[in-house]
Amino acid sequence: EDAIILFEREMKEFRTKLKNIYGTELINQTLVLRDSCKESLKVLSEKWSKKLKEEDLMINKIQEYNNEILQQNQRISENQEHLTEIKSNRNQEEEQNKDLTDSIQELREELMKKKEIICSKNQAAKERMEQLCKSKVLFEERLGLKICRIHNEQLQFIFRHIDHKDPNKPYVFTLSINDEGDYEVTSCTPPLDCIAEFQLKVRETNNFYAFVANIRKAFAALSCK
């Protein structure tokens, strides 16, 4: 528009000069030429204006596409980071599951060993208890002894006919099988100083009959004091 205004002003000046020099006819030709140029400039201006608008739209579209691409790249980057984190967590979980599985297997094996040991000890204790029960009649007949099964799978041995002054006076000791499968005296009435020695000896020799006989002899010796 500035160029058109400038052009019109120059044309007016030119027309004035021409009018003074060549007259009206040339001026009219010049006016026709001016109008033609003006129309051409107007058409050209509209054309370029339209083209500029199209280019602006294209630039805006390109900018939108670029922004969308940037957003997509950002989302892809975030997804990749998230995927990496998921893979890392999965690897850690797999390692933890493996460690847990190994620990469970070790615990199972250890539990099986303990069960086998316990079963073996229980079997040994059961066999010893059965042996003691089978010996009950023999002890009662020969040593005046009564054997009772009491709480916690313990056996109570009650001697009588030891004290001549009081034949019915009881002399008692209680026997159990400990976790190691050994004989263990848990109580003794009246107490005997030599009970620990007898207990150690029966563990070494496994001669239970001699063990019971020695305790009876110790009770008898105690009654004579």
CB 183 within 8 Å of CB 202: yes
- Contact 148/156 with Cβ under 8 angstroms? yes
**pTM of this structure:** 0.42
User: What tokens appear for 121 in the block?
Assistant: 């000890």
Task: Give the three-class secondary structure for 149.
Answer: strand
In tens digits, the chain (225 residues) has pLDDT values of 677 888 888 888 887 777 777 666 666 776 778 788 778 878 888 888 888 888 888 888 888 888 888 888 888 888 888 888 888 888 888 888 888 888 898 888 888 888 887 777 667 767 766 776 666 666 676 667 888 888 878 999 999 989 888 989 999 999 998 888 889 999 999 999 999 999 999 999 989 889 999 999 999 999 887
Contact of 198 with 214, CB cutoff 8 Å: yes
Strand, helix or coil for residue 206:
coil
The pLDDT value recorded for residue 200 is 94
How confident is the model at residue 45, as a pLDDT?
A: 80
Q: In what order do the strands lie in the sheet with 145-150?
A: 145-150, 154-159, 171-177, 183-189
Q: Is it true that the peptide bond before 190 is cis, omega within 30 degrees of 0?
A: yes
